[in-house]
Amino acid sequence: MHARVNESAEDYLETILLLGRSKPVVRSVDIATELDFKKSSVSVAMKNLREKQHIVVSPEGYITLTKSGREIAEMIYERHKILSAWLAELGVDPKVASEDACRIEHVISKESFDAVKKHLISSGFKIK
pLDDT at 2 over 80: no
Phi/psi at 43 (5° precision): -60, -45
Phi/psi at 57 (5° precision): -115, 125
* Domain residue extents for the chain: 7-66, 72-122
Cα separation, 50 vs 101, whole angstroms: 27
Each residue's pLDDT tens digit, 26-59: 999 999 999 999 999 999 999 999 999 999 999 9
Please give the helix or strand (H or E) that residue 4 lies within, else none: none
Q: Which fold has domain 7-66?
A: Arc Repressor Mutant, subunit A (1.10.10)
pLDDT at 126 over 90: no
Q: Which fold has domain 72-122?
A: Diphtheria Toxin Repressor; domain 2 (1.10.60)
